[in-house]
Structure 1
Amino acid sequence: MKILRKLAVCALATVAILPQTVAASAGELNVLTWEGYSTKGFIPKFEEASGCKVTASYVGSNDDFAAKLAAGGGVYDIITPSLDTVPMMRLAGFVAPIDTAKVAGFDGIYPEFSKAADVVADDATWAVPLIWGSVSLIYRPDKFATKPDSIAVLFDPANKGKISLWDDKSALYWTARYLGYDNVFDLTDEQLEAVKAKLIEQKPLIRKYWASAGELTELMANQEVFVSNAWTGLTSKDVNNLKKGFEVVEFTPKEKAEGWMDSMMLVKDTPNEDCAYKYMSFMQSAEGQCGIAESTGYFPVNPKAVAGCMSDEMKKDRQVDNVEFVKSLVMWQQPKRLDKYLEVWNAVKAAP
């Protein structure tokens, strides 16, 4: 507990915090979430049906959640961290348990997600699964003589200045897998030193660490980078829709892609609990699940909800009723020594 609270406070020193606003009044809902999770395509339908006005603020990394919540209570009502960050939010005391009886459609969620060890703990449910997907590699086929098949493409000097990487501690996971380590969430001190050294060696090759999917889209659309890791489905869709005269393609490296699942968590002492539960229920409905899947290109967590609002082709593309796909991914977990991982990643970024 003390370590996690310390991490939240330390995060304030490294993440820019926006000026604080007063707590939202009843009938308003402030959601701290990711790009594409609260768009005009489906949120107005919720607002009209519920009478709850949604204001969304966005994060670029899971590390942002602790920093922004530690900045002061009463600003956010719902947060949507990834599975590897859910335990930290619980143990740091930022969130309250979920009354699943108040979440319509909860029983339709894949049990692999709704009953996951980090979702259910201390005899309570702490998160409502929202959307899931993978993190693969994206590249410009016209810039490579042969199709890459490995994470090695991110460390190849031949691609100097045209490589990007997500500004997130998961860079350690990618590098650890590239170095052949299987225990990516429980690396030894020696292994972490090797990972740090490799990432520092890579820095001269990096054009920029991207902080959001929108930033990566711009980097690729403006031809500043040709290869990066990316949230599967989103950046490729956005870049290709710009029709810049070239296309980008995603691929799963031979070291496997990473997997993630984002969930809705109820911020402790929110004054907008009624709206929060209405929102969670809406996001388990056909309009919510198909809306967010369409907006992002990610995979729905509730196959019952999307049964009538997705074509068979889209269901296949979004892995509906194919939870076996999870087994092919390196699913994110909270690192055993989260503080050490953050320390190493910050050391990499601080290195010349």
Structure 2
Amino acid sequence: MKKILLALAMVLFYCVPTYAGSGELYLYIWSEYIPDEVVENFTKETGIKVHMSNYDSNEAMYTKVKLAGEGYDLIVPSSDYVSLMRRQGLLLPLDKKQLSNFAYLAPKFTNQSFDPENTYSIPYMWGSTSIAVNTALLGNDTVNSIADLWKPELKGKLLLPNEPREVFALALKLLGYPLNETDPAHIEEAYQKLKTLIPSVRVFDSDSPKQALLAGEIAVGVVFNGEAFIANQENPDIKYVYPPEGYNLWVDSLCIPKGAKNVEEAHAFLNYLLRPDVATIISTEMGYSTPNDAAMKLIPKEVRNNPIVYPSNEVIERGEFQDYLGDSMKLYDEYWVKLKTD
């Protein structure tokens, strides 16, 4: 019996990979953005323990990573922040030799302008920021466009994301400008328009806005599509509107910050997340769209055909992806502070 136990122990020892780092991984990610089972299964397969911290905005993540310099092995910035952090030397280049599952990604999500050849980033999920409406409180015809957000019956009943780019996108698209606008006069015009919307705003929340929707604390929320998906699953009266003026599309990517201590573990987790079966679980549970081409064949039909998660090509054409704004972002930040404090 002792020989059998010893042999089993030896098998288990050789089956668990060893890593140059600590055997631990420090993940800094958006709130409610990865299923617990995915993290737990990764630890079971590799022995790597994942320590997870959350943020509710790109600004919060960027500021902490830039000031701290270390403490995290993986972060999940949106495309414009990938570009910013890449330009500022805040990211480590990836070792593609350790990412054999990279080939499963759809070509349309790789080699993008914000990170040519994916030198620093791996697309994690993509989605939209648009309008979720509780039709039980407002009916089906009250809010179907960005312009409808200014209706008087929404006073004190509106939730906006705690993200300047997401909020300014509303006014910019309403005014007929691109959401990647850099003209100072147009940005100021958007700010003036948003000032008139503030009386309707009950709360700014990018952390878990579905909670306010489900509790009936608000009637309308400008939210990420995954939040709308989960809210709709619990309450079918909550519908997700893609406004005729246009809306915001985004891609969130996984990156290794320059101060990472456990780089080999980070690559192991990246390659694990790129597996089609894992990507399927993430998209199905979180309600966001996967860039993993192979996973699309595995995703249940009810999710794959749900327009909240996977909008039609016609709807996608009305959307616009965020891009890097360079020095213009300072102006957005200045107006954002005034918008929330004046």
Shorter chain as denominator, the TM-score bin is 0.7 to 0.9
Aligned to 2:9: none
Q: Supply the AA of the counterpart residue of 1:83.
A: S
Consecutive unaligned residues of structure 1, counting only runs of 5 or more, are: 1-24
TM-score, normalised relative to structure 1: 0.84
CA 1:202–1:239 in structure 2 vs 1: closer, same or farther (change >3 Å)? same
> Residue 305 of structure 1 aligns to a residue in which SS?
helix
Tell me the residue number matched to 2:7: none
Matches within 5 A, 1:163-312: 163-169=158-164, 170-181=166-177, 183-212=178-207, 214=208, 216-238=209-231, 240-241=233-234, 247-307=237-297, 309-312=298-301
| Superposition pairs of residues 45-84 of structure 1, within 5 angstroms | 45-84=41-80
Q: Does 1:135 align with 2:132?
A: no
Does structure 2 retain, via aligned residues, the 8 Å contact 1:166–1:210? Answer: yes
The match for 2:336 is: 345
| Separation (CA, whole Å) in 1 of partners of 2:30 and 2:169 | 21
Residue number in structure 2 paired with 1:13: none
Instruction: Note the C-alpha offset of 1:118.
Output: 0.7
TM-score (norm 2): 0.86
Which 4+ runs in 1 deviate beyond 6 A? Answer: 322-325
Aligned with 2:294: secondary structure? coil
Residue 323 of structure 1 and its aligned partner are, at CA, apart by: 7.3
Post-superposition Cα deviations, 1:32-54, rounded to whole Å, max 9, x if no partner, equal 11123333221111111111111
Q: Which has the higher helix share?
A: 2
State whether structure 2 residue 310 is matched by structure 1 residue 314.
no
Whether 1:126 aligns to 2:126 is no
Q: Between 284-293 and 231-240, report the one with greater CA deviation.
A: 231-240
Quick one: distance in 2 between partners of 1:139 and 1:185? 26
Cα-to-partner distance string for 1:55-79 (whole Å, 9 max, x where unaligned): 1111111111211112312210100
Q: Is the CA contact 1:240–1:247 (under 8 Å) kept in the aligned structure 2?
A: no
The one-letter code of the counterpart of 1:312 is K
1:220 and 1:72 map into 2 onto residues whose CA distance is 35
**Equivalent pairs: percent with the same residue?**
23
Q: Which moved more, 1:276-285 or 1:134-143?
A: 134-143
Say whether the 8 Å CA contact 1:284–1:305 is kept in structure 2.
no
Q: Does the CA-based 8 Å contact 1:217-1:239 persist in structure 2? A: no
Q: Structure 1 281/267 Cα, relative in aligned 2: closer, same or farther at 3 Å?
A: same
Q: Which residue of 2 aligns with 1:4?
A: none
Once the two structures are TM-superposed, the CA of residue 338 in structure 1 deviates from its matched residue by: 1.5
